[in-house]
Structure 1
Amino acid sequence: MISKHTNRAIYTKYCFMTLLTTNVFLVFLSLFSPVFSQLYPFLVNQAKSQVLIVSILAIGILLSSIILYRLHQIQYNEDKHYQRIKKYEEIIHV
């Protein structure tokens, strides 16, 4: 994106889609599968540990979703920064 102007961050989008999918998969695996102790051998297989892991994964899901939404806005020129740049260009050219 530095050498050539574009508003499509393809690799970034795929990276965060992969993170989102992985986090969702791990949440379902942690909650509905008996492999919790194999996935997280450093934690005791208790409800508190599962809540901690699911909370961390939920934060990851939330952040990935927010970033994907922002990337969508950037791709279609709906973000605030694009609007500010357009207003600045109008002021400069007047």
Structure 2
Amino acid sequence: MTEKLTMHKKISLTNLYFNRFLAIRYTIAFFLFLNLYWATFLMGSLSMVAVLPLALFVLGILTTWEQIKLYRNHCNKLPYARLFYRVLAIVFVTLMMTLYTPLYHFFFPFLKQTSDALHVLMVLLTVSLIIITLMLSKLNKIQHNQDLHFKRIQTYEEFIN
């Protein structure tokens, strides 16, 4: 019976540590699909810029792989996730700067340059930047064990021991 209980405690702790990164995993999935759709539309427009979202997609896959490995080997430092979010931030800020320039059609040849399209893109990019900032902050807190989830895990560990 104690062996089962010990195994249950170990699995519970593994799951708790893995769930520290839950929001990060969901946002990675969101940005993976966002880049995949952007690449698909760019390829449909026969644009060479499709390389950019495809490169972001590949970086997102590496980040996903890094997340999967966390289940067996818990680690607070996630270099691919940090790189992924930083590169996304740079790309999104660049896209925001090009929205109101002739470069707009270079990055979005499948959309007309109407005020509605510009506003929707600006909102999408702004919200994405806010999410990226929050995730980078969360990664920093996790790296330094200052996140709320870590405190809950410590409380749970004290309780079960």
Shorter-chain TM-score: which interval? 0.7 to 0.9
Answer 1 or 2: higher relative contact order, Cα 8 Å, separation at least 6. 1
Q: SS of the counterpart of 2:99? A: helix
Q: TM-score, normalised by structure 2?
A: 0.53
Match of 2:82 among 13, 17, 24: 13
Runs (4+) off by over 6 Å? none
For structure 2, which runs of at least 5 residues remain unmatched after alignment? 1-69
Provide the aligned C-alpha RMSD in A: 1.4
The AA in structure 1 aligned to 2:76 is N
Query: What is the rounded CA distance, in whole Å, between the counterparts of 1:29 and 1:44 in structure 2?
Result: 14
AA matched with 1:28: M
Counterpart in the other structure of 2:108: 40
- The count of corresponding residues between Structure 1 and Structure 2 is 92
Identical pairs, percent: 26
Please state which structure has a larger fraction of its residues in helix. 2
Q: Which residue of 2 aligns with 1:54?
A: 122
In structure 1, stretches of 5+ residues that fail to align are: none
Tell me how far 1:85 sits from its aligned partner.
Answer: 0.9
Q: Which amino acid aligns with 2:75?
A: T
